[in-house]
A and B are shown apart, each in its own frame.
Chain A
Amino acid sequence: MAIDAPQPDEAGMVLLNTDLTDVGKVPTHSDGVPAVELSDSTKTNKRQGGKHLPAEFYSHHLSDAAKDRQPSAILSLFPLENTPGVISLLAGKPNGDTFPFNWFQYSVRTPGNPDQETVIKIDDDALREGLQYGRSAGQQSLIDLLVGLQEYSHGRRVGEGWRLSVGNGSQDLINKAILAMVNPGDPVLLESPVYSGVIPMFQSLNCEMIEVASDPEGISSESLRSVLESWPAGKRKPKVLYTVPTGCNPTGATTSLRRRKEVLASARDHDFLILEDDPYYYLYYGSAPRPPSYFALEADEPEVGRVLRFDSLSKVVSAGLRIGFISAPEVFVTAIDSHTATSNLHPSSLTQMVVYTLLRTWGYERFMLHCKGVSDFYREKRDVFERALRMHLDGLAEWTPPDAGMFYWFKLSLHTPGSAEADEDSEAVIRTKALEKGVLALPGTVFLPNGKKTAYVRAAFSLLSDQAIDEALRRLKEVVIEARGLSGEKARLP
């Protein structure tokens, strides 16, 4: 379903044809608050006899907050605007003639040809759309393009019970998804260690955060199964599992195919849904083939519709844009759109237009080529970091190199005199000795949902030069040596 991109001329210039036929009427509340289209049935659920889980199945997976949201009374009026000949005084949109912008233009490096640039101009109808209120779910043309990307990358098609919405970064969508699925006090399953940015979302709901062990192979399906099989009878079971399956933050681990399949089987056996938070999916650089996403794999399951997938453009296109997207069963995407209509209306129309024009210009293949360039960059940094780790911390730390993303997760072998291994605490060392020696890594405790101590630290290798990486790890070596109460030479583990 790749869309042919306009070819650049010799100077590498492409002026986008801004005659966008898909710039259509945007249903909004009269105040400009975009309307939620509750049954956008042209885009979903039209599959003949599909094996996807029906909408009714999810009623026990929706939170009370999601069920409580009242549909907008104004919504029912907007279809009437399409009645031929009707003059509508409904929409409280400002008049775009007063917005002072004439055109917006950006240039991008051509993937695979870094000396070449493409210039993309946004004006006329495209700019008008980019400057005006839009739909809660996002710009339809962008959604269509991203749906095509999901087919290209994950083999999932329209009509399988899922829908796609654009958000203000994947963070925005994850937060709303959790609010749509989890009631206060609910138990939830989290891989551990876990992306620290998601912990406050569960804390604010007073969730019981059940940690599922993980290791260099990713989330432990054995640990997951064990937790669920020994679940106390009569106690409310967790309905949600949160995981970052590619280049996990902080561990860097990528969950193996074998384990992914087992997790999906557990999801079916124990009736929970999987929040697949995958911002490093396109930053995979392992020598083994990239494992398929949960979203892809579930298409082979007896029931389809247990995966809510979150994609982000922050690591591959731009973090400052704040554009992410969710691909999930219709009922959750609708709940999220409804929440968006109240909380922040919709993601920025202009940044959506930038992303749309960029992806349309490149097409999926060139986008993948770009992502390959990005993952090559991170692989090289990973190699530099690995070299420096072996040179300076061999015998003083334990680690497994990541195959995706930008994080190293390693345990400092502190062997603090008089301290049991379980009580090792990297945080104290970071705040004192490491600081003194001029190096900062992130204490692993911030990634443990229940705040336990740990000797692990997380280091990001995205930003530093090769020399800085080398020097940082050299300093860390000295920190560990000093913490172990040794002087001078390195000691090796027996």
Chain B
Amino acid sequence: MVTTAMPKITNGISAVKHLPAEFYAPFFSHAANKRKPSPIRALFPLEGTPGLISLLAGKPNASCFPFTSISFTARSPTDPSQQTNLELDKNELAAALQYGPTVGEPSLVNWVFGLQEYSHGRKRGEGWRVSIGAGSQDLLYKAITAILNPGDAMLIESPAYAGVLPMFEHCEQVEVDTDADGINPASLRSIMQNWPAGKPTPKVLYTVPFGSNPTGSTTTLERRKEILSLAREYNFLIMEDDPYYYLYFGEAARPPSYFTLELEEPEVGRVLRFDSLSKILSAGVRIGFATGPEPLLTAMDMHTAMANLQVSGLTQVMVSTLLNSWGYDTFKIHTLNVSNFYREKRDIFERYMRKYLTGLAEWSAPEAGMFYWFKLLLGGEEEDSETVIRTKAIERGVLALPGTVFMPNARKTGYVRASFSLLDEPEIEEAIRRLRDVILEERAAVGKD
């Protein structure tokens, strides 16, 4: 599964060198530095004293919870006509219903550790650990709060995932160019080379390296290596937001994640990785996980301890039960099924794009995820898809998302984003056909044709 060189193991001890805890001190925000550890939690280890009776924990008595059993079925990834029936055992049920550890249910946390080794070749003991979050959105929010102060500059690929832009709204968002091959290291290098002397340099780069939302692009291997090199040279962390990692369906070999590639760096510890189960297992259960340097995760966990305590035990245990029953190989097969599903949708979309929009739009077919990003060739001087969407497109009965909402610093663009996840083939064809009519109408209006 892993295509890069593994680190040398001597006497069973990983030789991977990781950045020390002190390295991260300048990366913490004022908010993170202010947080104090809970005085109550400080007492919990004492409960382990043999024979001790503890009156500490303000937990409710589980015998009052009315649930007596929880079970579910899941389709087998290897044979969809088969389903697995899973029932939570006594311990799992108790864990699902009671308060639990901030970092997440141990069975799920352990599974994630194993997944990160299986998928990314990273092992325990390399200075990183895992926290479960209420979706990767929750973890992104906490990471950003732990690192960035209002007014701080940060680097963000552009266009960028609209759902993350509000989290950076008090920061100076320095846009890094992207294209069909993903984030552009030359653009980043240029930004850093021209950085005003004396101005604090950006602490983080935010990027979605697979099937980027909205552009659909997947960053190439060569560019990832350059980005890592720039991170070391200019001392910033990489927030690798990767919800479409398992939705890659390109012909070429899947590029390794930043989390994997940093093994080739002199030290690991610059990558903070965010995984999500939303696109592969369920969006509604709200389960994601952050993987990265221990000091960063500890700062995030302290925020969780204050803000929302923990992720739902019920959903964690349910997901953990399923994933542990599958094992990693079956999980991989499931993700291949999911990515095949999206590839087929992509193929349909591409077919109709070519049929109806050749010469009327510009695009590159995505190799991961669920989005098409294309520029409407409207014929006018100004590139602005928004007006056309809100007027002519609506009149003709088609809606795509104006690209302007993905610009960190408001500006117009001729691009739109279309999602191909939900529609069937006739709807896709009709939608694109209508877009064609919209573009032709607009071009006629500006005297283009």
Contact = CB atoms under 8 A, between A and B. Distances in A.
Contacts of A374: 64
Nearest to A197: B306
B398 A89 contact: yes
Contact of A83 (B65, B397, B420): B397
Nearest to A133: B283
Given A33-B137, A320-B313, A475-B53, A86 B397 contact: yes
Contacts of A13: none
Size category of the B interface is 35 or more
Contacts of B166: 69-70, 72, 341-342
Interface stretch (A48-56, A164-172, A217-225, A300-308): A164-172
Most buried by A among B53, B315, B399, B420: B53
A204 B306 CA distance: 10
A464 B397 contact: no
Interface in A14-64: 29-33
Interface stretch (B114-122, B273-281, B377-385): B273-281
Nearest to A451: B39
Given A33-B162, A204-B31, A196 B39 contact: yes
Given A100-B74, A105-B70, A175 B308 contact: yes
A175 to B, nearest CB: 5
A373 B64 contact: yes
A407 B83 contact: no
A23 to B, nearest CB: 12
A440 B54 contact: yes
A83 B434 CA distance: 15
B283 A94 contact: yes
A133 B284 contact: yes
Interface in A323-350: 341-350
A167 B57 CA distance: 23
B240 to A, nearest CB: 18
A462 B60 contact: yes
Given A102-B73, A106-B71, A203-B34, A435 B46 contact: yes
A200 B306 contact: yes
Interface string A149-185: 0000000000000000001110110010000000000
Size category of the A interface is 35 or more
A322 interface: yes
Contact of B134 (A204, A317, A344, A463): A344
Contacts of A407: 58
Most buried by B among A69, A72, A87, A134: A87
B367 to A, nearest CB: 17
B309 A169 contact: yes
Contact of A460 (B56, B305, B342): B56
Contacts of A201: 306
B272 to A, nearest CB: 17
Given A89-B423, A100-B77, A171-B307, A106 B69 contact: yes
B46 A463 contact: no
Given A106-B71, A204-B35, A460-B55, A351 B312 contact: yes
A93 B314 CA distance: 23
B169 interface: yes
A354 B285 CA distance: 12
Interface string A416-439: 000000000000000000010011
A89 B431 contact: yes
Interface in B113-148: 133-135, 137-138, 141
B51 A171 contact: no
A30 B401 contact: yes
A203 B278 CA distance: 34
B282 A350 contact: yes
Contacts of B61: 377-378, 381, 406, 462-463
Nearest to A119: B69
Given A73-B404, A94-B370, A129 B284 contact: yes
Given A107-B68, A318-B97, A463-B61, A87 B167 contact: no
Given A83-B394, A109-B68, A74 B286 contact: no
Interface stretch (B189-197, B249-257, B333-341): B333-341
B224 to A, nearest CB: 23
A249 B59 CA distance: 12
B307 A175 contact: yes
Contacts of B198: none
A200 B37 CA distance: 9
A81 interface: yes
B386 to A, nearest CB: 9
Contacts of B9: none
B169 A70 contact: yes
Contact of A90 (B57, B341, B400): B400
B318 to A, nearest CB: 8
B163 interface: yes
25 contacts: A29-B162, A72-B166, A73-B405, A74-B401, A80-B399, A87-B423, A87-B431, A89-B419, A89-B423, A92-B213, A95-B342, A97-B341, A100-B334, A130-B284, A131-B283, A200-B305, A203-B36, A316-B60, A320-B99, A320-B314, A344-B141, A348-B134, A438-B49, A440-B52, A442-B56
Interface of B: 31, 34-36, 38-40, 43, 46-47, 49, 51-61, 63-75, 77, 83, 95-100, 133-135, 137-138, 141, 161-163, 166-167, 169, 213, 278-286, 305-315, 318, 322, 334, 337-338, 341-342, 345, 370-371, 389-390, 394, 397-402, 404-405, 417-423, 427, 430-431, 434
Given A87-B434, A94-B370, 4 more contacts: A133-B284, A168-B312, A203-B36, A345-B135
